[in-house]
């Protein structure tokens, strides 16, 4: 991966629908071979962006480049990209083999070469070779998803776009296919651009995550960075449960800062982010760099972890999550003190 040769580059891409601007002059560079997930709430512009990238719609302004070639005015069928949809658009009455060979037939590849490639793709997608003659309507949901992927790969596209391909599947199958997709990405070395509502899916599979909000990218970075160092409250909250405390001149209401923590945050003004799993119960007079005092409001068992809702003395709510062996006996109403290290917190510049 290199910053100097992005496989895909978009410059000031804008899309308006009458008065409404769905994409506001956005920029993006995707590296060759990267797995980029685009996540964001409903209506943030993910589908609009993908439609422009694959040529299903035209931008109102800006440009799209595939390496050195400008492609935003190129018809969809001439673009070296391919889209995998949630609705698979397979031909149900045809065999698995005929479905996979379809793009090759369009390209007038000889029948024996088509079959050889289809069998290779069955192998790549870990489907048995005798599925070649099986009808699509006799395949399970997960098998169909793999056939659709094999067919997309038969186009030999430079970039594969995925529009929520797993959202219609049940939880276990989705989890299995997430792993398979990640593995397939590694084995093919292709560039994958994947849109999803599911942050969990994005975190499991992708190299980088681009978070969209109201037609703009709010943050583009590897999952760990977005999780640990979100640029805004929006991203912090999007990335899972979080405690946010306004901090002014190095003082945060509801939090007792040790002198070391106060100096670590300097005279900062913004929002202090504390993830629930960074907190631990404190015993006796024990203090941490950040100390919180309150009463347990509720507790929830989450398998190996326990989550607590704590009402702080100032009235704020704190969510804490600890390993079961570190759980606090006593249940709701119990007075507690919790602490965490300053290094486990993050300061968001925005208030």
Ligand X SMILES: Nc1ncnc2c1ncn2[C@@H]1O[C@H](COP(=O)(O)OP(=O)(O)OP(=O)(O)O)[C@@H](O)[C@H]1O
- What residue ranges bind ligand X (CB under 6 A)? 17, 20, 22, 40, 42-48, 197
Q: Minimum distance between the CB of residue 273 and ligand X, rounded to whole angstroms?
A: 25
Q: Minimum distance between the CB of residue 165 and ligand X, rounded to whole angstroms?
A: 13
> Are the beta carbons of 96 and 127 closer than 8 angstroms?
yes
Q: What's the first-to-final CA gap in the chain, in angstroms? A: 35
Q: Minimum distance between the CB of residue 350 and ligand X, rounded to whole angstroms?
A: 22
* DSSP structure class, residue 171: H
> Are the beta carbons of 192 and 162 closer than 8 angstroms?
yes
Nearest to 164 by CA among 250, 269, 38, 62: 38
> Are the beta carbons of 158 and 129 closer than 8 angstroms?
no
The pair of structure tokens assigned to 271 is: 């929002």
Nearer to ligand X, 42 or 77 (CB): 42
Nearer to ligand X, 101 or 163 (CB): 163
Q: Minimum distance between the CB of residue 192 and ligand X, rounded to whole angstroms?
A: 18
Q: Minimum distance between the CB of residue 204 and ligand X, rounded to whole angstroms?
A: 19
Is 350 in a helix, a strand, or coil?
A: coil
Nearer to ligand X, 47 or 251 (CB): 47
Q: Minimum distance between the CB of residue 85 and ligand X, rounded to whole angstroms?
A: 12
CA–CA gap between residue 68 and residue 51 (Å, rounded): 21
In 171-250 the beta strands, taken as DSSP E runs, fall at: 191-196, 208-213, 216-221, 243-248
> Are the beta carbons of 213 and 234 closer than 8 angstroms?
yes
Nearer to ligand X, 37 or 136 (CB): 37
């Amino acid at each position: 991966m290199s910053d100097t040769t992005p496989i895909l580059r978009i410059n000031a891409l804008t899309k308006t629908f009458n008065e409404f601007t769905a994409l506001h002059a956005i920029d993006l560079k995707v590296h060759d071979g990267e797995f980029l997930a685009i996540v964001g709430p409903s209506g943030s512009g993910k589908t609009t962006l993908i439609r422009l990238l694959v040529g299903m719609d035209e931008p109102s302004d800006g440009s799209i480049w595939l390496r050195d070639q400008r492609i935003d005015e190129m018809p969809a069928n001439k673009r070296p990209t391919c889209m995998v949809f949630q609705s698979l658009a397979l031909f149900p009455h045809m065999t698995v083999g005929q479905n996979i060979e379809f793009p090759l037939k369009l390209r007038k590849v000889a029948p024996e070469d088509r079959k050889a490639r289809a069998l290779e793709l069955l192998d790549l997608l870990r489907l048995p070779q005798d599925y070649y003659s099986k009808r699509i309507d006799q395949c399970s949901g997960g098998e169909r998803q793999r056939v659709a992927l094999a067919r997309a790969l038969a186009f030999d596209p430079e970039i594969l776009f995925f529009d929520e391909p797993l959202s219609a599947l049940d939880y276990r199958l989705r989890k299995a296919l997430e792993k398979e997709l990640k593995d397939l990405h590694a084995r093919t070395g292709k560039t994958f651009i994947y849109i999803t509502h599911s942050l969990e899916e994005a975190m499991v599979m992708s190299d980088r995550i681009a978070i969209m909000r109201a037609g703009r990218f709010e943050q583009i970075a590897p999952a760990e960075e977005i999780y640990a160092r979100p640029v805004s409250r929006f991203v912090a909250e999007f990335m899972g449960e979080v405690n946010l405390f306004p901090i002014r001149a190095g003082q945060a209401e509801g939090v007792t800062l040790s002198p070391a923590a106060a100096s670590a945050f300097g005279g900062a003004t913004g929002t202090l982010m504390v993830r629930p799993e960074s907190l631990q119960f404190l015993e006796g007079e024990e203090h941490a760099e950040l100390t919180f005092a309150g009463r347990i409001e509720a507790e929830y068992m989450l398998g190996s972890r326990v989550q607590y809702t704590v009402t702080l003395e100032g009235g704020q709510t704190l969510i804490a999550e600890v390993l079961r062996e570190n759980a606090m006996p006593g249940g709701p109403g119990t007075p507690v003190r919790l602490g965490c290290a300053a290094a486990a917190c993050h300061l968001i510049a925005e208030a």
